[in-house]
């Protein structure tokens, strides 16, 4: 079966129309739904889903863009690591254009730092093996989706006896951030569109706290238009019935218990830590740090760098966008000062950033 024919099943126009019609029929009361995941925001806007929905359904983008929620201080530290003599800093492409307090990685690179874009942490390990005389640091950014790959790479480095490879972990966990948004109560939410890739790893059961503690329904969704429409319909139905539950509209990928080998690799290499999120401050038990047993793979311990206190980006309201309080289009800088060509904040830089998605696919008339 070709990829195209597989995808066609999830993009069928007649099925989409039928789902959209069902949402319009069923929805009578306001339903403010947050899609946690930046990938969802992009898919929603790329397929023009808001234009198919009734006015009662209000979609809000959440903090699910790993590059965006990376704290300015962490980015400053990563840049300082890149400037350590001989260090090769490897990172995913999205990260290099994000403005830090003083510089971006791209600017540090232009000034002579050896910053390389990789497509996988294993590429970073390969670079370390090919250049044994130089320290290679992988900037670990991402949620439970990406962190297992990094954990596996650390395990592979250990198995291969590689001594010049370390990870600067800024990995983050999604349920604590969702909890932080609900606990803060800045934005009243009626439902959560659960992140499909993250939940493939952590399991749908990890979201049960939403109905149990906050009486809010959650629908786990995939990234195709029919997946998203099904999840929205499921949430609208629960809102209408006054019912809160976790539903899984992405059962072809997500299981209740998650991906056991991925979770085992995470558990082995990382421990849960209190970490800082852009826009949130320090969120308890919301990040992943390398365990003591893997300390020699920890760039933060191997290369202690001092950075001045982080500076906020003037006028940038990414923090509020990430908390779902502000729509990108409500920011005074959006599309006027802040554009993908000349981004003020990370939400306009990253391919998963809400501002970039609204700019790229949204109406800007």
Nearest distance in Å: CB 185, other proteins: 30
- CB burial class (10 A; 0-12, 13-18, 19+) of residue 26? middle
Closest to other proteins by CB, 94 or 276: 94
The DSSP 8-state label assigned to residue 325 in this structure reads: S
The residue ranges that bind other proteins (CB under 8 A) are 2-4, 7, 11-13, 16-17, 20, 39, 45-52, 66, 92-94, 117, 119, 123, 142-143, 145-146, 197, 225-226, 340-341, 351-352, 359-365
Nearest partner of 136 among 150, 115, 120, 152, judged by Cα:
115
Token pair belonging to 303: 């290369």
Residues 364, 47 contacting (CB under 8 angstroms): no
Closest distance to other proteins from the beta carbon of 16 (Å) = 4
Nearer to other proteins, 53 or 210 (CB): 53
Q: If residue 282 lies in a helix (H) or strand (E), which one and from where to where?
A: strand 281-290
Considering the complex, what minimum distance in angstroms separates the CB of residue 308 from other proteins? 28
| Least separation in angstroms between CB 352 and other proteins | 8
| Strand arrangement, sheet containing 136-140 | 114-117, 88-91, 136-140, 165-169
Closer of 158 and 329 to other proteins (Cβ): 329
Q: How many angstroms separate the CA atoms of 66 and 42, rounded?
A: 14
CB-wise, 49 or 182, nearer to other proteins? 49
Pick between residue 47 and residue 207 the one whose CB is nearest to other proteins. 47
Shortest distance (Å) from residue 241 CB to other proteins: 26
Retrieve residue 220's tokens. Answer: 């786990």
* Residues in CB range of 304: below 8 A, 6 or more apart: none
Q: Which is nearer to other proteins, 167 or 189 (CB)?
A: 167
Taking the C-alpha atoms of residue 212 and residue 160, their distance in angstroms, rounded to an integer, is 45
CA distance 62 to 57: 16
Shortest CB 124 distance to other proteins, Å: 12
Q: How far is the CB of 104 from other proteins (least distance, A)?
A: 15
Q: How far is the CB of 334 from other proteins (least distance, A)?
A: 14
Helix (H) or strand (E) holding 202: helix 196-202
8 A C-beta contact, residue 136 and residue 90: yes
Of the two residues 216 and 269, which places its CB atom closer to other proteins in the complex?
A: 269
279 phi/psi in degrees, rounded to 5: 90, -15
Q: What phi-psi label fits residue 281: left (phi over 0), alpha (psi between -120 and 50 degrees) or beta?
A: left
**CA 219 to CA 62: how far, in whole Å?**
15
Nearer to other proteins, 66 or 99 (CB): 66
Minimum distance of other proteins from residue 173's CB (angstroms): 15
Among residues 209 and 361, whose Cβ is nearest to other proteins? 361
How many Cα atoms sit within 13 Å of 251 on the Cβ side? Answer: 5
Catalogue the E-assigned strands of 38-190: 57-64, 88-91, 114-117, 136-140, 165-169
Question: Least distance to other proteins from the beta carbon of 76, Å?
Answer: 21
Q: 3 or 133, CB closer to other proteins?
A: 3
Question: Which residues in 170-243 belong to E strands, given as ranges?
Answer: 191-194, 218-220
């Amino acid at each position: 079966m070709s990829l195209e024919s597989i995808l066609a099943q999830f993009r069928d126009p007649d099925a989409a129309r039928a789902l959209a019609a069902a949402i319009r029929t069923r929805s009578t009361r306001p339903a403010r739904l947050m899609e946690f995941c930046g990938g969802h925001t992009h898919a929603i806007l790329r397929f023009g889903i808001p234009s198919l929905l009734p006015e009662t359904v209000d979609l809000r983008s959440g903090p699910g863009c790993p590059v965006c929620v990376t704290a300015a201080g962490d980015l400053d530290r990563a840049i300082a690591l890149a400037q350590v003599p001989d260090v090769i800093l490897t990172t995913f492409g999205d990260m290099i254009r994000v403005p830090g307090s003083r510089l971006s990685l791209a600017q540090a690179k232009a000034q002579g730092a050896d910053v390389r874009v990789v497509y996988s942490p294993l590429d970073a390990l390969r670079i370390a093996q090919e250049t044994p005389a130089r320290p290679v640091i992988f900037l670990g950014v991402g949620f439970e989706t990406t962190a297992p790959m990094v954990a596996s790479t650390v395990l592979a480095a250990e198995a291969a006896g590689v001594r010049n490879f370390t990870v600067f972990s800024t990995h983050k966990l999604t349920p604590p951030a969702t909890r932080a948004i609900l606990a803060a109560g800045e934005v009243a939410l009626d439902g959560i569109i659960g992140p499909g890739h993250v939940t493939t790893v952590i399991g749908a059961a990890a979201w049960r706290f939403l109905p149990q503690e906050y009486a809010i329904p959650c629908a786990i969704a995939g990234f195709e238009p029919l997946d998203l429409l099904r999840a929205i319909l499921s949430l609208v139905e629960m809102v209408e019935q006054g019912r809160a539950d976790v539903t899984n509209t992405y059962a072809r990928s997500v299981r209740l218990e998650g991906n056991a080998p991925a979770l085992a690799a995470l558990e082995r290499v990382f421990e849960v830590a209190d970490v800082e999120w852009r826009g949130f401050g320090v969120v308890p038990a919301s990040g992943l740090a390398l365990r003591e047993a893997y300390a020699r793979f920890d760039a933060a311990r191997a290369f202690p760098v001092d950075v001045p206190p982080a500076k906020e980006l003037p006028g940038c309201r990414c923090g509020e966008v990430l908390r779902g309080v502000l729509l990108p289009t409500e920011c005074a800088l959006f599309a006027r000062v802040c554009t993908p060509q000349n981004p003020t904040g990370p939400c306009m830089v990253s391919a998963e950033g809400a501002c970039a998605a609204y700019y790229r696919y949204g109406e800007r008339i």
